Amino acid sequence: MKRDKGVIIWLLSGCFLVFIMVVVGGITRLTNSGLSMTDWHLVTDTFPPLTDEKWQQAFDEYKKFPEYQKINIHNNFTLDDYKFIYFWEWFHRFIGRIIGMVFIIPFVYFLIKKRIDKATLNKSFVLLGMGALQGFFGWFMVKSGLVNDPDVSHFRLSLHLTFAFLTFAYTLWVALDLIYPKRKTALLPMRKLARVALVILLLQIIYGGFVAGLNAGLVHNTWPLMSDGQLIHDSVFIEKPTLLQNLTEGQSGVQFVHRTMAYIVVGLIVALYFKGKKFSLDNQQKNGLNTLVAIVFLQFTLGVLTLLFRVPLWLGLTHQVVAFFLLTAMTYTLHRLSK
């Protein structure tokens, strides 16, 4: 596998832009801006409305949908308020366009110049498909909040969020394949545990999306007990008709799973770190494990603080950003233990 610095920079630039898009997506969600663009056109919506008349038309269109009719109509919601939420949703989608151009234009150039080897080419086609699918998931999510319910489906929100994380992780993996072209024997026991930790981390990210979509961070704002001095609050089992629904659709149940799985993620990463002490690791592997442990404890602390302070914007966003760093460290560490 050839090591082409231009291709590596291209892939890492994609990682950075996906990261920025997730950050802006977090702001969009936390400011309740995601349903501000009720109709979307590829060309005409490249920029926000440029005249007062166009702004008023967009605002009048927004007034036809549930979020305004059921919520904002009672909040003295003005055109200036609408411009604020419109900006964040527009900016989120605009970055998506930039990511598309940053991927496709250099890709075509590298292809013509024959600077992409066959293995990387196949992975690039996968990335292209993932990018297109992510755009569809975004539309699929927003659509769920424009019918009757002024909130998007928490399942669709989590799908959109988690797939962005996956797209980032896979892009980083492809870049790492080029950064470290030399192969060596994998540490199989370490790799197996790292894979388990990655799967549980992804499940935790999925549940993070559930918590965000259901505003489940606004209940049981105590730690380590949920509330009323209970480790598992009674409401975990009684909000919905079945146990499965309680653990996937109930605010208490979803929060309980998310806060419990946090302990499991920490435990697995700590176990991976101490397991590494039994092997002769190179500097890359050691640095990966050290970084992973540091970030997981930071993320756990941020999660507790976000809960205790009832999800202020800056804490909720920081918690999401550090989740990204945690996935980055997990992906890097697994790559170094695997190849």
Confidence at residue 3, expressed as pLDDT on a 0 to 100 scale: 74
Cα separations (Å) of 19 from 26, 87, 167, 173? 11, 19, 10, 15
Max intra-chain CA distance, the chain: 68
pTM: 0.93
Arithmetic mean of pLDDT, 247-265: 97
Confidence at residue 145, expressed as pLDDT on a 0 to 100 scale: 82
Intra-chain end-to-end CA distance of the chain, in Å? 13
Q: Give helix 154-179 / helix 118-143 axis angle, nearest 10°.
A: 160
pLDDT over 90 at 296, yes or no: yes
pLDDT over 70 at 42, yes or no: no
Q: What is the dihedral of CA 95, 306, 169, 268, to 10 degrees?
A: 180
**Residue 67 CB-density burial (10 A; 0-12 exposed, 13-18 middle, 19+ buried):** buried
Residue 203 CA to residue 256 CA, distance in Å, equals 14
Confidence at residue 74, expressed as pLDDT on a 0 to 100 scale: 86
Arithmetic mean of pLDDT, 314-330: 96
Helix (H, G, I), strand (E, B) or coil at 230: strand
Is the four-CA dihedral 299, 301, 305, 308 of positive or negative sign?
positive
The string of pLDDT tens digits covering residues 91-112 is 999 999 999 999 999 999 999 9
Amino acid symbol at 179: I
pLDDT over 60 at 1, yes or no: no
Confidence at residue 41, expressed as pLDDT on a 0 to 100 scale: 64
Amino acid symbol at 37: M
pLDDT over 90 at 129, yes or no: yes
Residue 271 CA to residue 277 CA, distance in Å, equals 10
The string of pLDDT tens digits covering residues 224-242 is 999 888 999 999 999 999 9
The answer to whether residues 299 and 263 touch, using CB atoms and an 8 Å cutoff, is no
Q: Nearest 5°: CA angle at 200, between 155 and 264?
A: 115
The string of pLDDT tens digits covering residues 155-203 is 999 999 999 999 999 999 999 999 998 877 788 899 999 999 999 999 9
Q: Kindly indicate the confidence band of residue 55, based on its pLDDT and cuts at 50, 70 and 90.
A: very high
